[in-house]
Structure 1
């Protein structure tokens, strides 16, 4: 049977069904070209890397920070510099918006169709495509997800389950139990713990009773890794998202109790590679997105560099293995940050010890302006003026009404970022997602199949194609 051009087929089919697709009006000559010859080899393993909410400015500034701090390109930019990847742009729209959310974005990869924002692998016509990790598991491969946000969050869930609401994280946790994926690691203990769930189910106990190896600390994960047993792994290391990489790096207790993203990826690969049929692993740097929503430059860039360390772990494995495809991308832009001023201002970020989140969570209405200034100078190495400190304090003297995603304490993230711009020269376009086309690159086995411009849904079929798995 002849191989079909899944890029062109899926683009044509979706153009008829998806109203808002930027590809729907493209002329035939602009569509991706057909494959010229049958695929001679397959990829045994696939590692799908997602820096969630990464605008191109985030990647650019993280690389600048790496060059200024360490004298080297970050791993992602090094892959470009060495010319060892296929590189393209990806259109990220959902079924009902040019600006996607993470659930629709991940579902486009996971289910191969565009869905409305807010749902997981539930198409606009009500159909429920089989998520890709279920397909790979049925084909005999080991599968898993690793993230720095709750493991039940939208991006990992989009590879795994069907759900009418991305917010049903307690229900998604139960779906994971029944699906028995081989490795699931991240945060989100509140969705597994008896004392946090409304239904009072002990979901941790449910997993353990079904033969899972359960880790709740970095040490427990390392012990499972060292033991090398074949049983599936559930690792949940914080109540909600894991700590920001910058805060973790400067807090010995956090470093002791919570693993880095690169450490989780290393453990996952070592566990999954035992399967003789290969594996598929999704890796998400989810706190990049959370920091972008908060306009938190320290959180953003250091979590991007932590993601980059995890990417280096994946690439090192793929290089040694020779039969692994690494895809690295993002699901959408967020806040579109950029450097708009002096180098010496930007270099202050090298000396940051803590994020804006850490700074603002430690302030209360009893603080004086001088205490605010001292806290910021301790955390980030510069001193704001008294009027700016008073401006920040004004948010604490009455009931706070700041909005924004992932801001349960109503902290003045945007106001602080606006003040901070004078000291770092980093500015922001918004606190929300953007509709930009985004970076995508492929390294390793079958990387040549990535075309210069793709729709997000194309990646579903690309992964199945290179692994030799039926749709």
Structure 2
């Protein structure tokens, strides 16, 4: 492709974009609809019946570039994220992500800004500095007769989903968040976090929340097979597919035999099928949550495949809004994480392309490797070879063994110390830190109400845009 003229390259990308999206939908006709329907149309105005809010947690701008060039090189098609720019009904904005307590937000403050309409301190979920609980958007939606849904690859009680539905002064109060989901009757709940739905009290008693959901009419599913069967059903749905977070996409793709764990696309598809039956509409948040986790770990293989999985949700969302023009769609991130970048490598940077081939040596995440080594209770070079395609030196082995012996909560720090320079030379992927960043981020909006999104938007302003689009009174 590097030998094509600029005009030929544009035509190639346009055509290959349609072909590449086909693997994510059931037919090429559906892809054509998702990619072309609505083009030439003016921005929708009026009231929205539904809102779909797609959020990829912790997406640094450089992660988009890494995934974009990887996909062009290996699948000869641009990201669906990039193809959004071709739609004439796109309202594009740049989003300021700060919290009340810092220019660098955490996920609970960021999601709460969307969920309640004002900035709060890092660590809280819809609770202000004075301790006052602020009514979240799902509560308003329920009062308006709308169904609500949360889909995530994290624990469903984690910060981002909680920001639309819960009130707690500390984001780690996930047992309380699970209880609030039951009390507030969130209609669709899909993700990880089963551990927070069986709660042991100080007096030794155990509360099982899943039976309480079932008593309220929820269908409960535990794997991909049961989830797929639930798509045709009606009524509220809860699916918990892991004790904690759902395993990384790279691990699910390469694990043999494959576990019966749904992908984000699987969960999104079923959530839409169930919520589509809501007579008065719905508000659905879908989170690709583990891009953030991979960024914190500086795990290049994991972050690439997590974002690619989120990207695969975009055609489903576009297909839905093209068939349901009364639906507002927002696609964004809450903040950047770790400053992931594909860097220039080699003379004239000519090694950056081959580095995109070598990144394919990474078959498992740092998290997978951590689990294998901690189970073995000692360093085993075969697992490093399986995960990274690297033959560990005695010096590298010693670094990791010390962390294993110390029973480190996470071995990612030891992996970076031992293998970080080698992995960066191999993949050309670099990092600014293991923390969140203050970067402003992309926001895409479509459908009724999208025309009211300003070109530069502060995160807390989205609450008013969403509720106004839905015709919901908040004061």
CA RMSD of aligned residues (A): 2.3
Which of 315, 326, 331 is the aligned partner of 1:328?
331
Q: Could you tell me which residue of structure 2 aligns to residue 412 of structure 1?
A: 414
* 2:359 and 2:426 in contact (8 A); partners too: no
Partner of 1:207: 213
**1:72 aligns to 2:74 (yes or no):** no
| Alignment-derived partner of residue 95 in structure 1 | 100
Distance 1:410 1:352 in 2: 15
Q: Under a length normalisation based on structure 2, what TM-score does the superposition of the two structures give?
A: 0.83
Choose which of 144, 147, 152 in structure 1 pairs with 2:157. 152
Q: Which residue of 2 aligns with 1:244?
A: 248
Per the alignment, residue 461 of structure 1 pairs with: 464
CA distance in 1, matches of 2:112, 2:66: 29
Aligned residue number for residue 291 of structure 2: 288
The verdict on how the C-alpha distance between 1:423 and 1:265 changes in structure 2, with shifts beyond 3 A counting, is same
Displacement of 1:413 in angstroms is 4.2
Change (3 A) 1:126 1:393: closer
Match of 1:375 in 2: 383
Q: Counterpart in 2 of 1:105? A: 110
String of CA shifts for 1:20-59, please: whole Å, max 9, x gaps: xxxxxxxxxxxxxxxxxxx951222111011001111111
Kindly indicate whether the alpha-carbon contact (under 8 Å) linking 1:296 and 1:417 is maintained by their aligned counterparts in 2. no
The within-5 A match list for 1:278-357 is: 278-340=281-343, 341=345, 342-357=352-367
**Secondary structure of the structure 1 residue equivalent to 2:446:** strand
Instruction: State whether residues 216 and 237 of structure 1, in contact with CA within 8 Å, keep that contact through their aligned partners in structure 2.
Output: yes
Q: How do residues 69-218 of structure 1 correspond to structure 2 at under 5 angstroms?
A: 69-193=74-198, 199-218=205-224
In 2, the alpha carbon distance for the partners of 1:195 and 1:346 equals 47
Q: CA deviation at 1:470?
A: 1.0
Q: Give the CA deviation at 1:295.
A: 0.6
Structure 1 residues not aligned, in runs of 5+ = 1-38, 402-406
Q: Which segment drifts farther, 231-240 or 199-208?
A: 199-208
Contact 1:110–1:158 under 8 Å retained in 2 = yes
Structure 1 pair 433–199 and aligned structure 2 pair: CA distance change class (3 A) = farther
TM-score between the two structures when normalised by the length of structure 1: 0.84
Distance 1:399 1:351, change over 3 A: closer
Asked if 1:232 is matched to 2:236, the reply is yes
3-state DSSP class of the match of 1:145?
Answer: strand
**How do residues 373-412 of structure 1 correspond to structure 2 at under 5 angstroms?**
374-380=382-388, 382-384=389-391, 386=393, 389-390=396-397, 392-396=399-403, 398-401=405-408, 407-408=409-410, 412=414
Q: How many residues align?
A: 422
Matches within 5 A, 1:32-47: 40-47=45-52
Q: Residue deviations 1:56-89, cap 9 Å, x none?
A: 1111111112111211111111112445422121
The answer on whether the counterparts of 1:92 and 1:455 sit within 8 Å (CA) in structure 2 is yes
SS at match of 2:141: helix
**Deviates further, 174-183 or 413-422:** 413-422
Give the 3 Å change call, closer, same or farther, for CA 287–115 of structure 1 in structure 2.
same
